[in-house]
């Protein structure tokens, strides 16, 4: 059946697979930079918290496409590491707002700076136009997946 796939589609599959494999390794490395006990999938969660500044657990669970129970367990682990805090939602007494602690923000920003430095080194020989196009196409691909 694979022989019937168009060559460009096979090439995209191969490259996406390679990117995901590298991404898993990178996630482990970056998570360890944030905190030695941090699970690798938590980096993406921290990234969303950094972007949102403060967000309700239900809203974050919907955005990430995970169950509230799963996310709550992850948040509890991040709280135990001192990276995330829950504050009462002033508009709804039953809800909590999640945000990074100062330590969580500091550690995340340092790990992110390292990650961006690595990307900068990888792409430094690319023309700016190519980097912009690459970002645009990745966004288009990710948006199509959502």
pTM of the model: 0.75
Question: H helices of the chain, where?
Answer: 7-34, 42-52, 57-64, 68-80, 102-123, 128-145
Query: Tokens 């990650």 map to which residue?
Result: 115
Domain spans, the chain: 2-145
| Per-residue pLDDT in tens (0 to 9) along the chain, 146 residues | 556 768 888 899 999 999 888 888 888 888 888 889 888 888 888 988 999 889 999 899 988 888 989 899 999 999 999 999 999 988 888 888 999 999 999 999 999 898 889 899 999 999 999 999 999 999 999 899 87
The reply to whether CATH 1.10.10.10 applies to domain 2-145 is yes
Task: Assess contact for 44 and 28: CB atoms under 8 A.
Answer: no
User: What span, in angstroms and rounded, lies between the C-alpha atoms of 4 and 12?
Assistant: 15
């Amino acid at each position: 059946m694979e022989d019937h796939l168009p060559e460009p589609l096979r090439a995209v599959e191969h490259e996406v697979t390679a990117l995901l494999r590298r991404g898993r390794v990178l996630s482990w490395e970056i998570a360890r930079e944030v905190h030695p006990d941090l699970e690798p999938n938590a980096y993406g969660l921290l990234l969303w918290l950094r972007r949102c500044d403060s967000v309700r657990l239900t809203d974050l669970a919907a955005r990430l496409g995970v169950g509230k129970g799963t996310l709550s367990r992850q948040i509890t682990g991040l709280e135990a590491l001192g990276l995330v805090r829950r504050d009462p939602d002033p508009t709804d007494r039953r809800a909590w707002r999640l945000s990074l602690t100062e330590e969580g923000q500091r550690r995340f920003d340092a790990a992110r700076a390292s990650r961006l430095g690595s990307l900068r080194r990888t792409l430094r020989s690319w023309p700016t136009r190519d980097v912009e196009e690459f970002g645009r196409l990745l966004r288009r691909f990710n948006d199509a997946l959502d």
